[in-house]
Amino acid sequence: MSPSPHNDRSTQAARWPVSALPRVGAPGSRSAELHEDRADTSRGLSYLEEQRFAYVRWMGTLGTFMMGLGALGAGAFPVVGNPYRSFPLGSVMARMLTTSSIITLIGVGFLVLAWVLMGPFVTTRVPKPHQARVSMTMLRRTYIAWVFPIALSAPLFTQDIYSYLAQGSIVRQGMDPYSGGPIDLLGANVDIARSVPFIWAHSPSPYGPVALGFASVISRLTSDSIVAGVFAHRVLAVAGLSVSAWAVVRLAQRCHVNPQAAMWLGILNPLSMLHLIGGIHNEAMLLGFLLVGLEVGLRGVDKLAQSPVSGWTLIFIGAALVTCAGLVKVTGFIPLGFLGMAIARCMRERGRSHVFAWLVGGLSQLLALVVTTAVVTMLTGIGMGWVTGQGGAATIRSWMSITTDIGVIAGALGMLLDLGDHTDAMLSITRGAGVLVAGAFMIRMLLATYRGTIHPVGGLGMSTFILVVLFPVLHPWYMLWAILPLAAWANRSAFRMSVVGYSALVSFFVLPRGLALPPLTVASIYIGAASIFAVLLLCMWWLLRKRFRGGLH
């Protein structure tokens, strides 16, 4: 990903005062032009190109169908009492772990390829600037077609869903999820606790009361049924990604970026499909609250000059939604700072002093945070243990984290030099330095937002990107924290190519079961999947070449 992913046109737009940005759909505004362009987008595709786009979409749908089929045998099943084996097809697939894993990875390959091939259809600007070659309706249908097969299958790529189920049961039974792990609180004889990954079995919950509150409701509605609980959480994940799609499109219009390109880059991204829908991670809920809250809050800032009452109402609602994101994971609180700076910028434009502008922006967000947190705490009955319970994940040594890698390498060098094993001390230093650098960069982006040299969406995206890069723990889906807001703000080709390269590569990093397997088994799965995928791709290319006499482009 490029550290400066905006083009000249967007940079100039980003320097506009926040309150002076045109309202979405306002007559004569760029967003109104976007609406007009989108209405006649069909002119951008010939009949043959529409057929090619349809084939690309069906290629992705084939991929997600294969993933859903393979998940019945190679999915992230519970350790005991696997309910999916009671399904006729599931019992057959479960006896073929390697074959099912190969089918799943082939499906990932088709999904990634379809997503990459779809790029030129949404990023080429003809015949007018900012006009996409496909309509938003076509992309929405693509989203539904790709999500549906995964949503109906078993969990994929992670066992974390069973932690969510166990923690929901803990809260439902009136216990404190921050006082111990699922095994400690539920007991080792409870199936739902025994299915929790070992690393979280004795760890307090790292999630906030919003995530645990939803998990508690699901536990009550499903009576701790594993299958019903998994599908209920997946409904939440689909809802979270769907409202994120709405927000990304609106934020892209606000930032004068092609909304179809933002939808493709962020929402249809294979990482979103694989890990937010397939893996059912809480990031889907977090991003839904965060992005919708940011859009609603910025609408309030736009209205402050004309209608202060409705403006402040929208600001408070937006800040409350962002606070809910932070009450899923603490990183969700970050947009509050950028909303506050947008408000301060608006106050400054109205002739207020710097001190007054900062106080209004900061205190308004602090008030929304305190009130929302109090209401959520009262409704869920969950205490404030989430404030001090965020360090559990830091015990993981994630090889994808730069700061962790540096610390581990430094510790290994120390042992080679007979200085002793100081790896833990080096990790504390390198990880702490990474957090400090990310914090300093975030302050810089906040000040740039206040000065009006960067749009709040861009400031949030860049700050989150640096934070993820330097985060002590990095999982493949964490980069979505930055990709989704940046998709709505950044439109340089280099940025999009970087996101495509990263997303395509990382999509293959995690095995379908989400657990370690013997090296020979892993090698056979990847070699088998790559070989069969290559053969299928050649066959598909030959058939399409006969159909179009020119391939897909």
Nearest CA-CA partner of 435 in 401, 398, 408, 410: 401
- CA 411 vs CA 205, 403, 424, 432, 435: distances in Å: 29, 12, 8, 16, 19
Ranges 78-87, 312-321, 405-414: which has the least confidence: 78-87
Ranges 106-110, 312-316, 386-390, 412-416: which has the least confidence: 386-390
Quickly state the pLDDT bin for 19 (edges 50, 70, 90).
very low
Helices (H) and strands (E) counted in the chain, each on its own, are 24, 0
The pLDDT value recorded for residue 239 is 96
Residue 347 has pLDDT above 50, yes or no: yes
The pLDDT value recorded for residue 42 is 40
The pLDDT value recorded for residue 73 is 82
Quickly state the pLDDT bin for 251 (edges 50, 70, 90).
very high
Residues 187, 190: Cα–Cα separation, whole Å: 6
- Mean pLDDT, the chain, integer: 82
The pLDDT value recorded for residue 37 is 34
Average pLDDT over residues 35-62: 67
Residue 429 has pLDDT above 90, yes or no: no
The pLDDT value recorded for residue 547 is 65
The pLDDT value recorded for residue 124 is 57
388 C-beta neighbours (distance < 10 Å), count: 9
Using one digit for the tens of pLDDT, what is the confidence trace for 357-380?
A: 899 999 999 999 999 999 999 998
Average pLDDT over residues 226-233: 90
The pLDDT value recorded for residue 2 is 43
Domain map (residue ranges) of the chain: 397-472
Share of the chain above pLDDT 70, in %: 84
User: Looking at per-residue confidence, does 356 or 389 come out higher?
Assistant: 356
Nearest CA-CA partner of 115 in 12, 256, 263, 231: 263
The pLDDT value recorded for residue 480 is 93
Residue 20 has pLDDT above 70, yes or no: no
Contact 334, 313 (CB under 8 A): no
Contact 471, 72 (CB under 8 A): no
Residues 549, 533: Cα–Cα separation, whole Å: 22
The pLDDT value recorded for residue 92 is 57
* Cα dihedral across residues 310, 312, 313, 319: positive or negative: positive
Q: Which two tokens stand for residue 472?
A: 């002590």
Ranges 123-127, 251-255, 300-304, 546-550: which has the least confidence: 123-127
User: Looking at per-residue confidence, does 532 or 351 come out higher?
Assistant: 532
* Cα dihedral across residues 426, 431, 432, 436: positive or negative: positive
Residues 156, 279: Cα–Cα separation, whole Å: 5
Q: Which two tokens stand for residue 175?
A: 């216990």
Which residue type does 428 have?
S
Residue 7 has pLDDT above 60, yes or no: no
The pLDDT value recorded for residue 187 is 83
The torsion region of residue 347 among left (phi > 0), alpha (psi -120 to 50) and beta comes to alpha
Residue 462 has pLDDT above 90, yes or no: yes
Quickly state the pLDDT bin for 268 (edges 50, 70, 90).
very high
Residues 265, 274: Cα–Cα separation, whole Å: 14
Residues 321, 192: Cα–Cα separation, whole Å: 31
Residue 47 has pLDDT above 80, yes or no: no
Residues 535, 388: Cα–Cα separation, whole Å: 52
The pLDDT value recorded for residue 57 is 92
Residue 501 has pLDDT above 80, yes or no: yes
229 C-beta neighbours (distance < 10 Å), count: 24
Using one digit for the tens of pLDDT, what is the confidence trace for 168-219?
A: 999 998 888 988 888 888 888 887 888 888 778 888 888 999 999 999 999 9
User: Looking at per-residue confidence, does 77 or 4 come out higher?
Assistant: 77
Average pLDDT over residues 503-527: 86
The pLDDT value recorded for residue 144 is 95
Strands (E), 322-392: none
Ranges 45-49, 87-91, 258-262, 476-480: which has the least confidence: 87-91
Using one digit for the tens of pLDDT, what is the confidence trace for 132-169?
A: 578 888 999 999 999 999 998 889 988 889 999 999 99
The pLDDT value recorded for residue 450 is 92
The pLDDT value recorded for residue 475 is 85
The pLDDT value recorded for residue 461 is 94
